[in-house]
Amino acid sequence: MAAWFTFTFAFSTTVLTQVFGSGVFEIDLHEFKNSKGLLENGNSCRLNCRTFFRVCLKNYQAVVSPGDCIFGNALTPVLGTNSFSAMDGGAFSRPIRLPFNFGWPVRQDSLDAVHIIS
C-alpha cells in the first residue's frame, strides 16, 4: 500500500510546465580601433569605414558558426569611422542593449519528496 501511495504521489507531482525568462543583455563598448581601415573581408575601406555592430545571442559553441541567433540579435546604426570612443559622443550610445524574452518547457520532478515519504 505504501509503495502504491509513493508511486501515485510521485506520478501526480511530475508536471510539464512552461518557464519564461526575460532580461536585457548589455555590451558596454568604450572604444573601437580599426587602425588599418579594413573591412570584415580584409579589403580596404578606401577612405573611412562606416562602423556598426551586429550582436547575436546564441547557445554556447566552442567554434562559433553562422546561423540563427536563438536568443535574439541587435544591429546598431553606424557608430563612427575607423576608430572612435564613447567620449566622442554622436550615435555611439552606451550600452548596446538587447532585450530578450523566451520560454521553454521544463519538467519538474518531486523525487526529493518521494525519498522523504519512503
Instruction: Reduce the secondary structure of 71-92 to three states and give it as a string.
Output: CEEEECCCCECCEEEHHHCCCC
Q: Which three cell numbers stand for residue 68?
A: 540563427
- The DSSP letter of residue 23 is E
41 touches 28 (CB < 8 A): no
- Dihedral sign for Cα atoms in the order 33, 39, 42, 47: negative
Residue 37 predicted with pLDDT over 50: yes
3-class secondary-structure state, position 70: coil
Q: What is the pTM of this model?
A: 0.59
At 99 the pLDDT is 84
Beta bridge partners of 83: 33
C-alpha torsion angle, residues 49, 94, 68, 99 (rounded to 10): -160
At 4 the pLDDT is 54
Please state which CATH number belongs to domain 25-106: 2.60.40.3510
At 71 the pLDDT is 81
**How many angstroms separate the CA atoms of 86 and 49, rounded?**
17
At 1 the pLDDT is 60
pLDDT top residue among 118 and 85: 85
